[in-house]
Amino acid sequence: MSQTIRRIAISTGGGDAPGLNAVIRAVVLSALQSGWECLGIRDGYNGLMNPGAFPDGGVMNLTRDSVRGITHLGGTILGTTNRGSPIAYPTLGDDGQWYERDRSDELAERLKELEVDALVAIGGDGSLAIANVLSEKGVRVVGVPKTIDNDLAETVVTFGFDTAVSFAAECVDRLHSTAEAHDRVMVVEVMGRYAGWIALYAGVAGTADAILIPEIPYDIETVAERVRQRAERGRDFAIIVAAEGAHPVDGERSVVGKSIGQQERLGGIGHRVADQLAELTGKETRAVVLGHLLRGGSPTTRDRLLALRFGSAAVRAIAQGCFGCMVALDPPTVHFVPLSSAIARMKTVPLDSDTMLTARELGISFGD
């Protein structure tokens, strides 16, 4: 099968995650070993859809030199975007209204014009849904799962998650001393969209007193009671980790807004919980929003290694003629799963998982 491949393309889509450059390097070096050429598409698929917007025409040739010294770097040398999905592209109608238009046929055509034999699509659920549409249109695609949120099904973990959790746990550690010094309640808001993986892992590792996750709607009075109980035991400070997608039993998620062609933006739970706890407990509270700090910086060793393994495995998948698939970690191996099953559902925290049980046994409150 590999003799039919001469040129492959790589795209990085959605929010960036530490490890993207390591995947790019592994794909390029492994592909060059097979004698294939590599093209890098700029800013998700924008390089193909709006080539005029890029000085290099939206596509760059990726050589050994292009990927030298990038394994440890955050971000992506190709650029990325989480706006303007090709399958729901914001387009201004004649009536002056914005509509979402499917431009995937155009994309498949551009790949054909560029004589791309296979595409490595590195991304989260949105980018992999685009990859699946392209695959259904005959494009030979291999997906690589990326997201700090760890919410992709069919893989035990995505790269970027370990870096985000490690940083969040370090921040929680740092907040302990200042919280204790001032007898304050600190509420730490972390990303993760509709899944509580980052909050749970960072909260347990950082020994938080309460963790609020989207999978368990919380009662603010229960959280306040935990803060009071601590005070009765002589612990006048508390650390609460709140996932951006968490919500109260009788209330909505905190949403910043939604624009056409974009997913809704979450945010605000940290301040909301901090204000309510101040009122209910009478304690001084502060909210800290970690936000995009979780996506920046150098990938941890674990994420680098996973990203390199995923990149090489993607090239192996192409060589074996395995298309419409995603590389996935099923320890100890990386194997290939259908793209369609990877995007069929969101991977949320199982409430009976070992980490959840551990948290409960450590006395951490989930506000339920």
End-to-end CA distance of the chain: 54
Q: Which of 186, 220, 241, 266 binds ligand F6P (CB under 6 A)?
A: 266
Give the DSSP letter string of 3-14: GG--EEEEEE-S
Select from 184, 210, 139, 150 the least CA-distant residue to 366: 210
Are the beta carbons of 158 and 147 closer than 8 angstroms?
A: yes
Copy the structure tokens of residue 258. Answer: 């939604």
Q: Beta strand pairing status for 325-330 and 141-145?
A: parallel
The DSSP letter of residue 365 is: B
Smallest gap from residue 148 Cβ to ligand F6P (A): 6
Residue 105 annotated in active site: no
Smallest gap from residue 78 Cβ to ligand F6P (A): 16
Copy the structure tokens of residue 213. Answer: 């996750």
304 binds ligand F6P (CB under 6 A): no
Smallest gap from residue 185 Cβ to ligand F6P (A): 24
Q: Which of 10, 13, 71, 149 binds ligand F6P (CB under 6 A)?
A: 149
- Return the range that interacts with ligand F6P (CB under 6 A); candidates 144-152, 165-173, 210-218, 332-340: 144-152
* E strand or H helix that includes residue 321: none
The CA-atom distances, in angstroms, between 124 and each of 3, 40, 235, 267, 271 are 30, 18, 41, 20, 28
| Residue nearest to ligand F6P according to CB distances in the complex | 191
d(CA 221, CA 218): 9
- Return the range that interacts with ligand F6P (CB under 6 A); candidates 28-36, 178-186, 191-199, 216-224: 191-199
Smallest gap from residue 303 Cβ to ligand F6P (A): 14
126 binds ligand F6P (CB under 6 A): no
Catalytic residue selected from 16, 43, 125, 149: 149
191 binds ligand F6P (CB under 6 A): yes
Q: Which of 15, 40, 44, 270 binds ligand F6P (CB under 6 A)?
A: 15
192 binds ligand F6P (CB under 6 A): yes
Smallest gap from residue 66 Cβ to ligand F6P (A): 25
Give the DSSP letter string of 36-60: -EEEEESTTTHHHH-GGGSTTTTEE
Smallest gap from residue 189 Cβ to ligand F6P (A): 11
d(CA 254, CA 309): 37
Give Cβ neighbours of residue 149 (< 8 Å, ≥ 6 apart): 124, 158, 161, 191, 192, 193, 195, 197, 198
Contact track, ligand F6P, 235-254, x by CB under 6 A = ---------x----------
Q: Which is nearer to ligand F6P, 11 or 30 (CB)?
A: 11
Cis, bond preceding 332 (omega within 30 deg of 0): yes
- Return the range that interacts with ligand F6P (CB under 6 A); candidates 91-99, 145-153, 168-176, 314-322: 145-153
295 binds ligand F6P (CB under 6 A): yes
329 binds ligand F6P (CB under 6 A): no
Are the beta carbons of 171 and 188 closer than 8 angstroms?
A: yes
272 binds ligand F6P (CB under 6 A): no
Contact track, ligand F6P, 55-84, x by CB under 6 A = ---------------------------x--
Give catalytic residue positions: 149
Residue ranges binding ligand F6P (CB under 6 A)? 15, 82, 124, 147-149, 191-193, 244, 265-266, 295
